[in-house]
């Protein structure tokens, strides 16, 4: 059973992507619990995944919208408009995941650019607060993601030991893959972002894994909502 389970994980690409970055966090399959316990764990993982994707994607949008150039802002606005019109949860999650992967590096570069301080100082106070909250949100997410990876590992093990739940494996795999890939980016964005906040004499707060994130209503231009 252990060999079959590991083969399944390798086929779905879970072990390869996560193991490389987290030293075998997903290694060593152990037996899962009962179907009810596994179902609750899967539901918890999926619920938390939705919240993190929503928070991080909005926060990255706001950072790019405040500090990016016209082309970068237009791209972010198009994604924001697409998400606001989409009611399919699966499609929304896919768009958010792709956006996080694509725009994390953009946000990092903008926060670390030579003119980031000057751009921040020119923003209206409310826009500055939005950027600060966005950086804090990303920092909190970065601290929560290792916990999510552990939840994902346990959920995958549980589903792997219960063939009746195998159809629920793909969303967990997608979540684990996204978190494993973006964790280093989240920590970089938070570190660079907090340095920038200190330079402009702002204190967005100190993130902890138990801190509460706040939804950012993305504003474009220097006229925040």
What DSSP string runs through 137-168? HHHHHHHHHHHHHHHHHHHHHHHHT-GGGGGG
- For the ranges 12-16, 90-94, 101-105, which has the lowest average pLDDT? 12-16
Rounded Cα–Cα distance for residues 111 and 116 (Å) = 6
Sign of the CA dihedral running 206, 182, 26, 48: positive
Structure tokens that stand for 199 in this block? 């330079």
Domain boundaries, the chain: 56-210
- For the ranges 1-15, 95-109, 152-166, which has the lowest average pLDDT? 1-15
Per-residue pLDDT at 160: 79
Per-residue pLDDT at 36: 56
Query: Taking 70 as the threshold, does the pLDDT of residue 10 lie above it?
Result: no
Per-residue pLDDT at 77: 95
Q: Rounded to 10 degrees, what is the CA torsion of 185, 209, 204, 63?
A: 30
Averaged pLDDT score across all residues of the chain: 83
Per-residue pLDDT at 208: 85
Query: pLDDT tens digits, residue range 56-81?
Result: 999 999 999 999 999 999 999 999 99
63 or 13, greater pLDDT = 63
Place of tokens 């340095």: 195
| Residue 187 near residue 59 (C-beta atoms within 8 A) | no
- For the ranges 19-33, 100-114, 205-219, which has the lowest average pLDDT? 19-33
Report helix, strand or coil for 19. Answer: helix
**Phi (first) and psi of residue 215, to 5 degrees:** -65, 130
């Amino acid at each position: 059973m252990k060999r079959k389970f590991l083969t399944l994980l390798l086929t779905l690409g879970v072990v390869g992507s996560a193991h490389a970055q987290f030293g075998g966090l997903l290694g060593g399959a152990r037996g899962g619990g009962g179907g009810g316990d596994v179902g609750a764990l899967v539901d918890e993982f999926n619920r938390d995944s939705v919240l993190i994707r929503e928070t991080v994607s909005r926060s990255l949008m706001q950072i790019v919208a405040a500090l990016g150039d016209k082309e970068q802002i237009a791209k972010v606005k198009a994604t924001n408009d697409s998400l606001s019109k989409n009611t399919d949860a699966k499609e929304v999650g896919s768009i958010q995941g792709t956006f996080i992967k694509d725009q994390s590096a953009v946000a990092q570069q903008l926060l670390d650019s030579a003119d980031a301080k000057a751009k921040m100082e020119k923003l209206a106070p409310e826009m500055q607060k939005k950027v600060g909250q966005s950086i804090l949100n990303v920092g909190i997410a970065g601290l929560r993601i290792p916990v999510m990876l552990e939840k994902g590992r346990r959920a995958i093990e549980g589903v792997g030991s219960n063939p009746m739940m195998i159809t629920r494996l793909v969303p967990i795999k997608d979540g684990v893959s996204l978190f494993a890939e973006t964790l280093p980016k989240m920590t970089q964005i938070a570190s660079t972002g907090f340095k920038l906040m200190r330079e402009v004499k702002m204190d967005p707060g100190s993130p902890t894994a138990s801190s509460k994130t706040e939804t950012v209503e993305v504003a474009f231009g220097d006229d925040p909502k």
